[in-house]
């Protein structure tokens, strides 16, 4: 998914306030999973959440993209990082907290794949622990046909990234066009991203089907956040 842009990922998302997001996560964990000491970040990307979360938890990360994992490893030396797909994840252990942030779960595209990913993440949540999932835009919020652009203006790096999203059924199609200028010259490339436009009910149903009780809906950056707990006996209390 980020096979061409991984090296520019952190520059493109430099606007993202990781410190504030992690502060919110820690507050929610403190209120709903007191005493939590271990955390797994699924779709950890370049490891910027992990870099901050490791101050309070024993952390591990998972991602499908090997180049993002390489960057995460450089940022988080000594932190166990695993290459894996959230639909087939099996690390053979559980964690007090499992997170899946920045709308990564939407890459599942279909409700069946969403349910499978939530089931595998829930299997890694310890009894009494919590799963925290940040959704993507639902079908009502997604705006096909509206041009988008973001820019990076650093001394040695200039990037213009543009797209005009479309839809295919209940999937949002985003073809990013990148224009990247470095000291070596100017490069243009594209990447296609396909994201499921899941409804609130579909997220809730997936969490319930995985044996989790939805405790709270919160927010990190305007897209929402689902927080659900596994019962002490591994069953939902819903």
Q: Note down pLDDT in tens along the chain; length 238 residues.
A: 898 999 999 999 999 999 999 999 999 999 999 899 999 999 999 999 999 999 999 999 999 999 999 999 999 999 999 999 999 999 999 999 999 999 999 999 999 999 999 999 999 999 999 999 999 999 999 999 999 999 999 999 999 999 999 999 999 999 999 999 999 999 999 999 999 999 999 999 999 999 999 999 999 999 999 999 999 875 544 3
DSSP type of residue 24 = H
Considering the domain architecture, whether residues 163 and 182 belong to the same structural domain is answered as yes
Yes or no: say if 41 and 59 are a contact pair by the CB < 8 Å rule. yes
Residue 67 is part of a domain; what is its CATH number?
A: 3.40.50.150
Considering the domain architecture, whether residues 96 and 190 belong to the same structural domain is answered as no
Would the pTM of this model clear 0.85, i.e. be above it?
yes
Considering the domain architecture, whether residues 45 and 133 belong to the same structural domain is answered as yes
Q: Would you say residue 112 lies in a domain?
A: yes
Yes or no: say if 190 and 215 are a contact pair by the CB < 8 Å rule. no
DSSP type of residue 139 = T
Q: What are phi and psi of 215, to 5 degrees?
A: -95, -40
Q: Would you say residue 31 lies in a domain?
A: yes
- Label the pairing between strands 225-230 and 125-133: antiparallel
Confidence (pLDDT) at 149: 98
Q: Would you say residue 237 lies in a domain?
A: no
Which sign does the torsion angle of CA 137, 139, 143, 149 carry? positive
Considering the domain architecture, whether residues 134 and 159 belong to the same structural domain is answered as no
Yes or no: say if 63 and 29 are a contact pair by the CB < 8 Å rule. no
**Number of domains comprising the chain:** 2
Which residue range(s) make up the domain with 166? 148-196
């Amino acid at each position: 998914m980020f096979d061409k842009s991984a090296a520019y990922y952190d520059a493109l998302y430099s606007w993202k306030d990781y410190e504030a997001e992690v502060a919110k996560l820690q507050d929610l964990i403190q209120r709903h999973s007191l005493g939590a000491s271990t955390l797994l970040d699924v779709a950890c990307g370049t490891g910027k959440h992990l870099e901050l979360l490791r101050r309070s938890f024993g952390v591990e990360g998972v991602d499908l993209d090997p180049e993002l994992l390489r960057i995460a490893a450089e940022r988080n030396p000594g932190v166990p990082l695993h290459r894996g797909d959230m639909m087939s994840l099996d690390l053979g252990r559980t964690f007090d907290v499992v997170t899946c942030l920045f709308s990564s779960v939407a890459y599942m595209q279909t409700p069946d794949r969403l349910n499978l990913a939530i089931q595998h993440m829930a299997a890694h949540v310890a009894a009494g622990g919590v799963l925290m999932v940040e959704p993507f835009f639902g079908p009502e919020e997604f705006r096909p046909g509206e041009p988008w652009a973001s820019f990076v203006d650093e001394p040695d790096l200039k990037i213009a990234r543009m797209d005009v999203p479309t839809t295919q059924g209940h999937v949002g199609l985003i073809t990013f066009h990148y224009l990247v200028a470095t000291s070596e010259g100017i490069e243009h490339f594209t990447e296609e991203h396909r994201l499921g436009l899941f409804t609130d009910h579909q997220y809730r149903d997936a969490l319930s089907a995985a044996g989790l009780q939805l405790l709270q809906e919160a927010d990190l950056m305007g897209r929402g956040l689902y927080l659900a707990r596994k019962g002490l006996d591994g069953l939902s209390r819903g």
